[in-house]
Chain A
Amino acid sequence: MSSDEDEGWVPFSRRPGWSDVVPIPQDDGPNPVVPIAYRDEFRETMDYFRAVYFANERSYRSLQLTSEAIKINPGNYTVWHFRRLIIDSLNVDLWEELEYVDEIASSNSKNYQIWHHRRWLAEKLGTGSANKELEFTKKILALDAKNYHAWSHRQWVLQAFGGWEDELDYCCQLLDDDIFNNSAWNQRYFVITRSPLLGGLQGTRESEGRYAVEAILKNPENESPWRYLRGLYKGDPDLLVGASLVSEVCLKVLQTSHNCIFALCLLLDLLSHGLQPCTELRTAVQRLSSEMELPDASLPGTVCSILERMDPMRSNYWAWRRSNLPCQAS
């Protein structure tokens, strides 16, 4: 490749295959500021790009030129658009194009255009590309397990082509690596609610509840599994209040951890929805309350006071929760 960094960049004006093209500079206005010396490579590449783009020249040399322009600025969406037109016109091998995206993606994994291009290719290739796409997103997620684009591409592949069989295991693996990874928790919820193989929330609630509880007990300050646990009982507060494992995990965390903001918050939800607390729960809350020398109040009111004290940045939120307690609970 003539643009290979090792060999040094050859200006288009000195390349034999480009002698017939007149480069088109960016529109020059009435107030030109003296151009400062800067990346000639960028300027010349874009001048030649404009030439082939405006001439609508869908040729192999144009394809090669878009590769160079993308290398310089992968965010330039017009270059990508033109590249797709060329690919369509020349019937370029789409698998080869996938390889090309593989090459540039790892260093530009947060670029919208690359992912959109990838999706366009996968859509054209159909189900046959499923495994490759799942592997590709895995590779990107190995570099950054929270890459938003990679996750949304992966979700699209699963829904469009399938491949759900190993997805829950994959979530486990990522959560083993980093239990705080909210993206992986989100994917887990995506799998249990949308996979055709698992029986939905009803079929997974028990085992997933145990999984979330285990994660909570390891790191009670981790926001994600607490929300996940709540999500398992989405839209059904009675079921949440009736689930013994939910009130038990609150109790365990209150008894053993200093990081109990999320436990108190969930307990507050349970109490607001009519949970009749056991003696141990009352004792655990009262212990915290007396440590903080808080005045006597109802159990939910005390929980709010503790939270206000423990989490001063959000004290207005907790004060609002107190003011919003059901009559019999406050």
Chain B
Amino acid sequence: MEAGELEAEKHVRFILAVEKVLSSLERSRPLFLRLLLLPLSNQPSVDSQRKDDFEALAMEHLRMNGAYWGLTTLYLLHRLDAVDLDEVVSWVLECQHESGGFAGNIGHDPHILYTLSAVQVLALLDKLDVLDADKVSNYVARLQNEDGSFSGDEWGEIDTRFSYCAICCLSILHHLDKINVEKAVNYIVSCKNLDGGFGCTPGAESHAGQIFCCIGALAITGSLNHVDKDLLGWWLCERQVKSGGLNGRPEKLPDVCYSWWVLSSLIIIDRVHWIDKNKLARFILDCQDKENGGISDRPDDAVDVFHTYFGVAGLSLLEYPGIKAIDPAYALPVDTVNKIFFGRLIVRTWRS
């Protein structure tokens, strides 16, 4: 892998531009705005803004996810300085409900998906102390069901994605003791399939996204002994297709987002050397919009923030030069995770 092929600065501008469009559409406060510091020619044209309108509108309710994707990418690319941190923190707090849970945006209902994103964003900005950790944790703990599974909110949808959200969130807040971890682990294990993978509920097809959630949750709770690592590792490495990209299920098309889901799982179970890492990095780099920034699902498709994050995070896992290291289980920079658990920044000398 050679440095210099990643259009880092353009991706940073792309993310800032998307956030600008979103905030102006909503007539709400822009979060990342330091755009004026950039030369005028780099600002998005009116045309490209129009094109992004609809996508930005559809993202309104999940702006918290968008903030997490965007900010983490900026952090990994050493550009968190482009963000008005106080503005972000006060917006995040405005999304919190009396129940302790967070919504995807101001005026929306709370959900565990956005609660995790909110906690991750605050951790990323090293602002966890603004939270009443007890209150947030109680919200999450109340979503655990009798069988150990988790609901996404009061409406009761159950999915192993929510098990991951709950466990990751509580671990960051040092409050895993508020749930029945053993039952939570048993529920996840009950979703294991004949191929070693995991689905959303017991019996559901293995899917790389769900596998990340289950493996991440098992890693955080120290329960990886329940994983058939060799069997799962083989299934995961079979996800690499000729182009070098990874798919999420057999016979599906490759997609940059699986550079995260598959790769992080392989790293957690220590089997990442079973795939061709150079070919995968090539595939991700080929999905860049080299002119206007951003990364797409497959080469030549339209870019978006979601895939830009997964592309950059994937390259980080591949130890691409110039990108900060990301933790495969917490989906946060290694620096951030170290701060959460060791209270200080540990200099990793083994990585440049």
- A186 near B205 with CB under 8 A, answer yes
With contact pairs A33-B30, A314-B240 given, residues A77 and B109 touching in the complex (Cβ less than 8 Å): yes
Binds A, one of B100-108, B174-182, B304-312, B325-333: B100-108
A152 sits at the interface (CB 8 A): yes
B residues in contact with A77, CB < 8 Å: 61, 104, 108-109, 111
CB proximity of A118 to chain B, nearest CB, Å = 11
Describe B's contact surface by its main secondary structure.
loop
Binds B, one of A35-43, A274-282, A295-303: A35-43
With an 8 Å Cβ cutoff, the count of chain B residues facing the other chain is 60
- A224 near B108 with CB under 8 A, answer no
- A36 near B237 with CB under 8 A, answer no
Q: How far is the CA of A315 from the CA of B244 in the complex (A)?
A: 14
- A26 near B29 with CB under 8 A, answer no
- A182 near B251 with CB under 8 A, answer yes
B46 sits at the interface (CB 8 A): yes
- B155 near A189 with CB under 8 A, answer no
B residues in contact with A320, CB < 8 Å: 274
- A84 near B207 with CB under 8 A, answer no
- A313 near B57 with CB under 8 A, answer no
Describe A's contact surface by its main secondary structure.
helix
Binds A, one of B18-26, B115-123, B288-296, B344-352: B18-26
Binds A, one of B124-132, B141-149, B195-203: B195-203
- B60 near A73 with CB under 8 A, answer yes
B residues in contact with A72, CB < 8 Å: 57
With contact pairs A314-B237, A317-B237, A320-B274 given, residues A75 and B27 touching in the complex (Cβ less than 8 Å): no
A residues in contact with B193, CB < 8 Å: 186, 189
With contact pairs A77-B111, A81-B109, A234-B194 given, residues A146 and B252 touching in the complex (Cβ less than 8 Å): yes
- A38 near B250 with CB under 8 A, answer no
A-contact 0/1 string along B274-287, CB 8 Å cutoff: 11100100000000
What are 30 A-B contacts with C-beta separation under 8 Å?
A: A26-B26, A26-B27, A27-B106, A28-B28, A31-B33, A32-B27, A32-B29, A36-B25, A36-B49, A36-B53, A38-B25, A72-B57, A75-B62, A77-B111, A78-B103, A78-B107, A112-B157, A120-B155, A146-B249, A148-B200, A148-B205, A155-B203, A159-B203, A182-B251, A186-B193, A193-B203, A227-B195, A314-B238, A314-B240, A317-B234
List the interface of chain B (C-beta within 8 A of A): 20, 23-30, 33, 46, 49-50, 53-54, 57-58, 60-62, 94, 103-104, 106-109, 111, 153, 155-157, 193-195, 199-201, 203-207, 233-235, 237-238, 240, 242, 244, 249-252, 273-276, 279
The 4 tightest CB contacts between A and B, nearest first, are: A29-B29, A231-B194, A33-B24, A186-B205
